[in-house]
Amino acid sequence: MAKFQDASARRKARIRRSIRARAYGKPRLSVHRSSKQIYAQIIDDEKGATIVAASSLEKDQRAALKTGATVEAAKTIGKLIAERAVQAGIKDVVFDRGGYVYHGRVKALADGAREGGLNF
């Protein structure tokens, strides 16, 4: 178990390093997925603060979605985070997949965010 955590931590750090190298001051769209939910937040790394966030645990999302562990839920959360980001004046971000493979729910969230108006 410790070897897996070490490998995933190294993978996550490697991805974050490459993202920061090409961010050029843009905020970061960070994704976290668990077995039952999906979370997204846009982070300003210079200030170390979260600008906007969305997750499948929010009250209105729980009512609308059967579960947060589906591709449809991820796409909905992607559109929601993009809508909130545009309201906050953010159009360009860098995508941080957080060590997860870019397919399934992570890809659906990214596609939803692009449909909602974010550029990355």
pLDDT one-digit tens code per residue, 58-117? 999 999 998 999 999 999 999 999 999 999 999 999 999 998 999 999 999 999 999 999
Polymer length in residues for the chain: 120
- 25 near 114, Cβ under 8 Å? no
Q: Given this model, what pLDDT does residue 8 score? A: 86
- pLDDT higher than threshold 90 for residue 22: no
In the chain, the domains with their CATH numbers are: 2-116 (3.30.420.100)
Helix axis angle, 105-116 to 71-87, nearest 10°: 30
Q: Given this model, what pLDDT does residue 1 score? A: 55
Contacts of 108 (CB under 8 A, 6+ apart): 71, 72, 74, 75, 78
Query: Tokens 């070490």 belong to which residue?
Result: 6
pTM score of the predicted model: 0.89
Q: Given this model, what pLDDT does residue 115 score? A: 97
Q: Provide the 10 A C-beta neighbour count for residue 83.
A: 16
- pLDDT higher than threshold 80 for residue 4: no
